[in-house]
Amino acid sequence: MKLNFHKNHKLLFGVVFWGFVALTLIIAVLPATWVQQQNEPLPASEPMTELQRKGLNIFISEGCVYCHTQQVRPIEMDENWGRPSAPGDYARINRQDVWRQTPAVLGSERTGPDLSNIGKRQPSDVWHYMHLYNPRSVVKESIMPSYPWLFEVVENPSDGATTVSMPEGYGPKNGTIIATREAEALVAYLKSLSQVPMDAWPSAAQQAKADSAVASAVKKKVNGATIYANNCASCHQNNGQGIQSTFPSLVGAAYVTEKDPTRHIRAVLYGLQGVTIDGKDYTGVMQPFGELLSDEEVAAVINYERTNWGNDAPTITAEDVTKVRNNDELNKIQPNE
């Protein structure tokens, strides 16, 4: 009678309460403690700077985590985003302050791309600023919110201010856009997002493997159009026409249509910056893709450019790319010299 759950409320609710406390210890508190004790940054990773940490706080405040994961799963479909994430990737993240918990950067939804390697994929400041000011200025189909409050519009920007020029129709009518300290911090954080190798002293081979993990997945089905959409369209646009005075057009461009593909291959392998193209200067920077894309993929994307949007140039093979890659002579001289 006394030990009857139906009649003895102390017994019933005692078991319910303490039983749940015990289960909580087993499934949450103890494993969390264990994970915390094992927490160790990867040897090759660097501590976050003050600015990057501030950027992370803005990333959390603005709720970027509701649309972006930072979590590469150990399954084939995630190989595009990098190598599988390890606990060490997050080891340098900790509590923000007394008020706020450790940021949840892993995310639970991928409305936008995974950002584990965005620093590698998109190292251009200019692109990030334009994208944050209005994502549709660089990716037409984007549904990401604009963040104009991270910028200011001023009449006369002071020296040293980071100015942002937007394409027609996306900026204010008068005045110049400058990035606030918040925007600079956020971009510094985004650029710092880049997976490092798991080992302490990686051999060159391992390093290369880690870097090209992003690429290795696509190997099975090399498709120029997809590679272009994932790597190039954010700047040069789907229609290849680029964005006025920031990212050049590829349509009918000399680099793309000339018979000798060397310049074109080098632009993709080693990036391009500060070159006057057809008499115009571009403020954007193009990053090197040599480590991100295999020779086969570089060939595929170049052929895609060469045969699209009315371009009609001779196509190339992976061997042509290998040749350029292995030519130390060409390797040393950057295309912009």
Question: By C-beta, is 113 or 252 nearer to another protein?
Answer: 113
Residues 150 and 132 sit within 8 Å (Cβ to Cβ): yes
Question: By C-beta, is 1 or 204 nearer to another protein?
Answer: 1
Q: Is residue 326 classed exposed, middle or buried when 0-12, 13-18 and 19+ CB atoms within 10 A define those classes?
A: exposed
In whole angstroms, give the CA distance from residue 33 to residue 202. Answer: 30
Q: Which of 4, 37, 108, 276 binds ligand HEM (CB under 6 A)?
A: 108
Residues 194 and 117 sit within 8 Å (Cβ to Cβ): yes
Three-point CA angle 145, 286, 321, nearest 5°? 130
First to last CA, the chain: 92
Candidates 107-115, 177-185, 203-211, 232-240 — which segment interacts with ligand HEM by CB under 6 A?
107-115
Which residues inside 67-86 make contact with another protein, applying CB under 8 A?
67, 69, 71, 73-77, 80, 84-86
Question: By C-beta, is 38 or 336 nearer to ligand HEC?
Answer: 336
What's the sign of the alpha-carbon dihedral 27, 30, 34, 36? positive
Residues 196 and 42 sit within 8 Å (Cβ to Cβ): yes
Which residues inside 219-278 make contact with another protein, applying CB under 8 A?
220-221, 223, 225-226, 229-230, 233
Minimum CB distance to ligand HEM, residue 79 (Å): 19
Residue type, 124: S
DSSP-derived letter for residue 80 is G
Question: Is there binding between residue 213 and ligand HEC (CB under 6 A)?
Answer: no
Which residues inside 61-80 make contact with ligand HEM, applying CB under 6 A?
66
Which residues inside 142-201 make contact with ligand HEC, applying CB under 6 A?
142-145, 147, 186, 190
DSSP-derived letter for residue 240 is S
In whole angstroms, give the CA distance from residue 217 to residue 220. Answer: 7
Question: By C-beta, is 116 or 137 nearer to ligand HEM?
Answer: 116
The binder of 201, among another protein, ligand HEC, ligand HEM, none, by C-beta within 5 to 8 A per type, is none
Q: Interface residues with ligand HEC (CB under 6 A)?
A: 59, 62-64, 66-68, 111-113, 118, 121-122, 124, 127, 135, 139, 142-145, 147, 186, 190, 231-232, 234-236, 247-250, 253-256, 264, 267-268, 272-275, 277, 282, 284-287, 289, 301, 305
